[in-house]
Each structure stands twice: as C-alpha cells, then as structure tokens.
Chains A and B, each alone.
Chain A
Amino acid sequence: MKDGIELLLYFFFSQILILLGFLTPTEAWNFVDFNTLGLLLGMMIMVSFFKRTGLFEFLAIKSVKVARGNIFILFLLFFILTGVVSSLLDNVTTVLLITPVSILVADMIGVSPYPFLVGEILSSNIGGTATLIGDPPNIMIGSATGLSFIDFLLNLGPAVIIISIVVILYFKFVVGKRFSLKGSFDPAIVSLEPQKAIKDWGLLKITLSVFTLVLLGFFTHDLLNIPPSIVALFGASLLLILTEVHPEDYLKEVEWTTLFFFAGLFILVGALENAGIMEMVSEHILNITSNFKLLVFIILLTSAVISGIIDNIPFVAATIPVIFSIMNKMHYPNSEVLWWALALGSCLGGNATLIGASANVVVAGISEKTRTPVTFRNYLKHGIPVTIISIVISALYLYLRYLM
C-alpha cells in the first residue's frame, strides 16, 4: 500500500524530468513496465475475491483446531499459513486477514499475541521471497529478466524453506523462553466453528477453481510463452465473468495508488537510465570489485541493509538496470545469481525493522491497542537477529549452490 505523497512525488519528479528533456513522453510511456502493473492488478482483483470468501479466517481457525491445545504447534501453523499465503498473495493482505484471528485466539486462551504477531511479520516477508508473485521486488525482477515462476520457486524456494526452519527454531528456543508460548485451551476455542467463517461457499468454489487454473498458468507460462501478467489478468477477468458481480464492486478494492506509484517510479528510473546514471553506478561498482563472488555478496548485503531502512521497491527498480549494465560489461557465466541475491536481500531485508516492509507496518497498526503492541523498538530485538540469520543463510546458500 502506497500513500498519496509518495505517489505524488514520483509523478511530480517524473514529469519534471520529461519537461527538462531527460526523456520524451513516448520514452516515458515505454519505460512503464505494464507486465508488472498487469500482474499486480490481476492479483489485486483475485485477492479481493478471496477476502470475500472468508477462506483465510477458515484456515486460521482450522489451525487452532489442529493445534489441539499446543501453543507452539499453533504458532507454527500460523507461521506456515502466513508464509504459504504470502508466497501466493500480497503480504499486506495476508497479514490483514491472518493477524486479527491470531490476536483473537491468543486473547481467548489468555496468552500474549506478541510472538504470533512477530512470527507472522517475519513469515510474510520470508514466504513472499519464494515466488515470482510473492513480493513486488520479485515481480519487478521477473518482469525485467524474463525469469519464470518455476525459476523463482526452484532457486529461491529451497533457501526460503531453510530460513523458515531456522527461524521457527529461533522462536522455539529463543523467543519461546521470553514469551509465553505455553498455555491450555479454553472451552471457547473448542467451540469455534471454522466452517461458519466461510461467507459464500459458491464464491469460494469458483475462486479456488480459478486460482488453481491461474497457478497452473504460472507454472507453465514459460513453456506457453505467456507473460505472468496475462495469466493473472485472465484469472481476474474469469472471476469477474463467473461471479456475475458488478466489476465496480471489486475494482474499487484495487490499490490504484500502488499502480500509479509503480508507473511513476518506472518513469523516474527510466529517466535516470537515459541520463546514464545507472551506467555510472555500475562502473563505480566494478571499480570497487569485478570479482563475481564478491559482487553477489555485495548485492545481497546492500539490498538487505537498504531494504531494512527504506522501501525496497524503488531500490530494486533502480538496481535492476545497474545489474543489467554490470552483466553487459562483464559477461559473467551464471550471472543469474545476481538476481537471486537481489531478490533474497531486498525481500528478507524487509524483516530487519518495523518500517522495512508494508506488512510490518500493518501488523504494528493492528496490534497498537492490544496489551502487547509491536513497537519499533521491541520488534528490532527479533527483526535484526532474524534478518542476520536469513542473510547469512542466503549467502551460504548462494555460495554452495552457485559459486563454489
């Protein structure tokens, strides 16, 4: 979710650059990556359908039932649910749907919701790293490079699974000691009825069928030579047709500010590219080192540090042309690793601080008036260690799999 001021700034400066002659209006239009915009739009529409079905509340309550009174199992299930959903849908929507249920359940059984909330923040960013559609940086990288859904899953998925396991162990042995992850279930929990969370079974069946089709499309888009955006937009259109609901009802849930933010950002980065700034940056980087292994780690570390402090989307948008420039100059074999380093660094770096990713801010907002709010300071105690662990694992993973 992008705020209006950010959107206005990008648009204002992109127009200024056009006026100053850094790029023509046609060039500006061509710099807008409609594949990214289309993919975001299609997924936003599909997400709005999911919201109406109550599926995620159902899954969250089902997790409570499956946990059978074991609070750590419950934490684990919420963590996995958040991660899996985040890998397929946007992180903000995921936490918006799952976090309130986890606070409710924690309140019902009289334990602190804090470990659940922090776990969900971390899991949403980790899970989103695994796929092409999981996080905006991956969408942009995928669109710019033509790397497929399967490429992302096969190259980032294993790293994400390893990181998730280590983070779960961190919670079990470090956080679990400090926060109550023990407790007994109240009869209120036993009386929860997950099936009543589903608001419209008919809509759920249609949405799940179409989404399965869309996932199949993502898995095969490379073979079929169809861009992911078309797959997502096809799914969204199909849902709009099959549900016979007025499209305006769904289109109003599309985050238009986010889409315009991306458009403005692409123009701005395009102007910098036109002005030769990205070339200069790549030359500077290569002056520091042309050692490929070192370059991979520099990209991983830099993107993690920057993404923990500022929005990772503009950073990734600006880094993509720099990496292309480096690749053109050096012709490294196996240069694809640079993209995985960028994706891992920028997505996982968002876990470092509470302002590192939009999902973090949303969870903090929801928890604000609970007994244990997630604040900037208390989040750092877990955000920083988990990010360091994640980046060390990523570095080892990249080294062992691609650079050794």
Chain B
Amino acid sequence: MSAEYKNTILVKHVMRKVSPVCESDTLRDVALYMIKEAAPVIAVVENEIVRGVIYIQDLIDPFIPDYFNYLSDFQFVKTFGYLDAEVFSGYFKGLFLAHDIMREQFDYVEPEDSILKAMFYMHRKNITGIVVIEDGKYKGIVSRFDLIGRLYGTDTD
C-alpha cells in the first residue's frame, strides 16, 4: 500500500468544524455530543477563549480507579466482583461537568500548518485528534480519521 499525499496539504484542508462545549456542560452531554459528531477531541470554550480540551479517553479515565496504574497487568483477573458495579456508581458522585475533566495544557495546530505537524502531535503524544486554533479562537478539529481519509484518498474532496 502506498500513501499518495501532496506536501501542500494544510490543516485547513482536512479540519472539521465541530462546535465546542462549555465548562458547565455535563459529561453526559459532552459524551453524547462527541459520539454524534464522531469527534475524538472537543474544545471547551468560554467567552470565545479555549479553556481546555476533552479527549474521548478523558471520558473513560475517571472510571478507572487510580491505583490500577500501579498494577502492571490484569491478565490474572476475569471479573472485578463488587468493583465492577461500584466503579460506575461512584464515578458520577464526584464528576459532573466538562470543567472537571478537561485538559488545560494541550497541543494545537493552526489552519495554515502542514498536516505533518498534526500527524506529528498525534504520533508523539498518542492522541487521536487535535484542536485547531487561530489567533486564540477555536476553529475546529482534525482527527486521525480525517487525516487517513485525506492521505489514503478516500476523502470526497
């Protein structure tokens, strides 16, 4: 398989306009919106300023108990007994809003950047998408699927 791409492809050629969410939006609303838009990342905007971003992974992470990070593997476990149910019931007690889980430090690209830059961030940071910002204003997102679509020629453009 060979990828056919032109080095003139810019972020603005592949980005999608996905409306941002607000800090006060509930996680349920954020999750449903991300599913609807098939957006792996979404910007959290307040007064036209990007306050943070939320990745799909960020919606999963809070369900995982913190101490799991100290266990190197779970091959020895099939089901988690009481924990299976308790993790889910405990989760929404402490976290309700987009503000609670958004990442305040994040990478972004600009519309005039080469898509190679977006690809680099996704590769280096192991992220599935990136937000596009210009002059401090949110413009949209680029996902791995958007890039692959363009790189492998399945894009409708």
Taking Cβ atoms with an 8 Å cutoff, the residues of A that contact B are 51, 54, 57-58, 61, 96, 99-101, 103-104, 107-110, 186-189, 191-197, 199, 366-371
Question: A101–B82 contact, CB under 8 A?
Answer: no
B1 contacts partner chain A, Cβ-Cβ < 8 Å:
no
Question: B81–A189 contact, CB under 8 A?
Answer: yes
Taking Cβ atoms with an 8 Å cutoff, the residues of B that contact A are 65-68, 70-73, 75-84, 86, 90
Partner among A96, A187, A188 whose Cβ is within 8 Å of the Cβ of B70 = A96
Residues on the A chain within 8 Å of B76, using CB: 57-58, 61, 192-197
Question: B73–A197 contact, CB under 8 A?
Answer: yes
**How long is the Cα–Cα vector from A96 to B90 in the complex, in angstroms?**
25
Question: B73–A188 contact, CB under 8 A?
Answer: no
Question: B82–A186 contact, CB under 8 A?
Answer: yes
Question: A100–B67 contact, CB under 8 A?
Answer: yes
Given A107-B65, A107-B86, does the pair A101, B80 have CB atoms closer than 8 Å? no
Question: A54–B72 contact, CB under 8 A?
Answer: yes
Residues on the A chain within 8 Å of B77, using CB: 104, 188, 192
Q: Which residue of B lies closest to A185 (CB)?
A: B81
Q: Return A190 CB to nearest CB of chain B, in Å.
A: 10
Residues on the B chain within 8 Å of A96, using CB: 70
Q: Please classify the interface of chain A as helix (H, G, I), strand (E, B), loop, or mixed, using the class held by over half of its residues.
A: helix
For this complex, 15 residue pairs linking A to B, each with C-beta atoms less than 8 Å apart, are A57-B72, A61-B76, A99-B70, A104-B67, A108-B81, A110-B81, A188-B82, A192-B78, A193-B78, A196-B75, A197-B76, A199-B72, A199-B73, A369-B66, A370-B65
**How long is the Cα–Cα vector from A366 to B80 in the complex, in angstroms?**
19
Nearest 9 interchain pairs by C-beta: A188-B81, A186-B81, A108-B81, A110-B82, A100-B70, A369-B66, A196-B75, A107-B83, A196-B76
Residues on the B chain within 8 Å of A54, using CB: 72-73
Question: B67–A366 contact, CB under 8 A?
Answer: yes
| Besides A51-B72, A100-B67, A104-B71, 16 other A-B contacts (C-beta < 8 A) | A57-B73, A58-B76, A103-B65, A104-B80, A109-B82, A110-B81, A110-B86, A187-B81, A188-B82, A191-B79, A196-B76, A197-B73, A199-B72, A199-B73, A369-B66, A369-B67
Q: Which residue of B lies closest to A367 (CB)?
A: B67
Residues on the B chain within 8 Å of A192, using CB: 76-78
